[in-house]
Chains A and B, each alone.
Chain A
């Protein structure tokens, strides 16, 4: 071996070796680019999530039905997990090779890439009549509509109705009239006396909670990250401090909710609720009704519940508490199918097919998706078609339809702020203020003052 290499050594100099390495690098770059190019010319790719049991089969049949209508492109789908969502999409978008059709909520970061296709030019007059205005608004950014909506929803609180009744609280009245911050504290205290749960109100303690209470304290002209439509910071006023003080008191003084802990996740929040260990859980949506039905079915037939310890009880959807004179509000949200072009490939046929596919995946028959999750369909025709499955006459769904009418106006920052600096504001201004106030490192006044200063710095591009 040694002899072999002693022969080899004079064959190429160090310089030649480095040149060869660089040449290989360039060749590899070309190879990788070529592979990406061939992938781009491949099948139309659809990414979605595992929304409910049987969803994948539903998507498969939808894609098969579309393929029968339009066979120009083969279709390939992928069910991605919620955990990998953000990172996987970031990589796909950054590479210029996103899925052609993506299920999701509107994200300004993807619009800013220049890859996302607005769909407003492709909406027919019939579409515009059929889609609920709130649903279209969910997919609107600026003056364009960036996807076909599939359902409409709002975050709300979910309550253990049995626990409320045991504490003598009439939850239907809360659904009808809402509840003030003071009433919320009082009801929570009543619940503590009659139930043995570790928490009355369990939430994942992030600044998102703060944004709900700020909204319900009359701050309607700023979004969940405190940004106004002109790109300035709007959480610099007394209502914001008041909401933070109220929450700090709820967390610390009344021991209503758990103290902040990054280890709490959406999953264990849901677990604690369905295990009957938290009387109120937020944020939730009407999908808790579907989940509770699933638990009841399993336990009723003598099977194991979907997750260990899940119990059967009645669920009540409730609005977030408000602080008069402010009214009960929440932001409407929802998801749908969005369309993306591929970088470096100018194939209008591909984009048009993707647009038709996204439209097909949100037609009235596709509204079964919403019915499966007790969400409100985005189309009037879908609402009629699945009215029975949606059980629209139940108190919970009646409340939810009314609640959706109270949706707060959507506030979008300018695209350059919304796609980059807004996240930084949340990270370096809002999150530290929230954490400092909850851990007692700062008073709410000090926390909000520091937050305002930090946010101004980020928005000024410092």
Chain B
């Protein structure tokens, strides 16, 4: 057997898996996005599904919620992860390892478990949060039932939840900065703040871009917490694009709309990622 055929043979399982579970569904979903779907007789409707998605005020609300969620969660995640990494970086190796494991642990817990715990924390009757507020004689909001607090509550669960991966990435990046840069800066009399902005931050920029892009892609696809905690309510205050796609498919049976919305989300994510990359990565050396 020639080398080419051998290579093809090795590649075939991966190609088959990609073709079956990615290429075929994506192509099929793309075709469905131009149809009014019925399992027995679908109709071709052109770009009508895309038009309906683009003019739907609920989708606009979902997009706004997604942007708010993504903006707050990703920004705070970067700040908190970097802050924790800076605190840990100067510590002894065994402490670094211990804290890395502790911070990474929540990432290993499924979103269902986390969401259920948070539902109990936010519960209006016996919830930990309202119980504590009652003990302090403070008012006890209906966290997940009030449209003014529900998105904030969901964001809180994400912000307090997962920084493990960010901390590990930043610690690795910080470890890669030569100590001589800081020694030279100290000899020149620069403050810690100046060292951070002039040395640390520019040199960990590739990591920041990576965390940012991965964070935005992940947060744009938030679903589990919304599904389990609020189902997009109250008054669509926690409706996000991916939850809306689920809603269109499973609750309303609008398969074409769901597919159109999914493709529009894909376009938004690719555009935002490219913009971030072009804006921030112009002078990054890899």
Contact = CB atoms under 8 A, between A and B. Distances in A.
A94 B39 contact: yes
B24 interface: yes
B27 interface: yes
Given A343-B40, A435-B233, A441 B7 contact: no
Interface stretch (B140-148, B156-164, B208-216, B269-277): B140-148
A427 B154 CA distance: 21
Interface in A95-136: 95-96, 109, 112-115
B41 A114 contact: yes
A263 B23 contact: no
Interface of A is mostly: helix
A4 B2 CA distance: 11
Interface in A1-50: 4-5, 7-8, 10-12, 20-22, 24-25, 27-29, 31-32
A81 interface: no
A86 interface: yes
Interface stretch (A141-149, A165-173, A253-261, A392-400): A253-261
Contacts of A90: 249-250, 253
Which of A12, A263, A428, A441 has the largest number of chain B CB atoms within 10 A? A263
Contacts of A93: 39
B70 to A, nearest CB: 22
Interface string B211-255: 000000000000000000111011110000000000101111111
A113 B41 CA distance: 9
Nearest to A205: B145
A426 to B, nearest CB: 9
Nearest to A423: B252
Interface string A420-436: 10011001100110011
Interface stretch (B92-100, B101-109, B120-128, B131-139): B120-128
Given A93-B39, A436-B235, A5 B125 contact: no
A198 interface: yes
B147 A439 contact: yes
Interface string B169-212: 00000000000000000000000000000000000000000000
Interface residues of A, number: 49
Given A20-B15, A25-B19, A25-B27, A263 B122 contact: yes
A443 interface: no
A430 to B, nearest CB: 12
B43 interface: no
A346 interface: no
Interface in B30-48: 37-41
Contact of B144 (A109, A263, A428, A432): A263
Nearest to A98: B39
Nearest to B233: A262
A90 B249 CA distance: 8
B252 A420 contact: yes
Contacts of B250: 86-87, 90
7 contacts: A8-B4, A25-B27, A259-B142, A259-B145, A260-B142, A343-B40, A432-B235
Interface of B: 2-8, 15-16, 18-20, 23-24, 27-28, 37-41, 58, 119, 122-125, 142, 144-147, 229-231, 233-236, 247, 249-255
